[in-house]
Amino acid sequence: MASVSPVPEPGGAGANLVVELRQAASASLAAVGGKALNLGRLAAADFPVTPGFCLTTAAYRKAAQAGLAAFLSKYGHRAVAEIDLGMPRWAEEPDHLLGMISNYLRVEDPEQAPDGRAEPEYTKVPPPVQAPAPQGPGGRRGRSSSVCRATSSRRTRHAPGLAPAA
Burial readout 67-78 (b: 16 or more C-beta within 10 A, e: otherwise) = ebeeebeeebee
Domain membership flag for residue 46 = yes
Please report the pLDDT score of residue 129 as a whole number: 73
Report the alpha-carbon distance of residue 166 to residue 164 in Å, rounded: 6
Asked if 10 and 54 sit in the same domain, the reply is yes
Report the alpha-carbon distance of residue 46 to residue 54 in Å, rounded: 18
Q: Which of 43-47, 86-90, 134-138, 150-154 has the lowest mean pLDDT?
A: 134-138
Identify the burial level of 106 via C-beta atoms within 10 angstroms of its C-beta, where 0-12 means exposed, 13-18 middle and 19 or more buried.
exposed
Asked if 84 and 60 sit in the same domain, the reply is no
Is 119 within 8 Å of 108 (Cβ atoms)? no
Asked if 58 and 81 sit in the same domain, the reply is no
Domain membership flag for residue 80 = yes
Q: For the chain, how many structural domains are there in total?
A: 2
Beta strands in 26-142 (DSSP E): 53-55
> Of residues 24 and 142, which shows the higher confidence score?
24
Domain interval for residue 106: 76-118
Mention every residue, 6+ apart, whose C-beta is less than 8 A from residue 29. 37
Question: What is the CATH number for 68?
Answer: 3.30.1490.20
What is this structure's pTM? 0.45
The total number of residues shown for the chain amounts to: 166
Asked if 2 and 69 sit in the same domain, the reply is yes
Asked if 7 and 51 sit in the same domain, the reply is yes
pLDDT per residue as tens digits for the range 84-106: 778 888 888 888 888 888 887 78
Report the alpha-carbon distance of residue 111 to residue 114 in Å, rounded: 8
Report the alpha-carbon distance of residue 14 to residue 3 in Å, rounded: 10
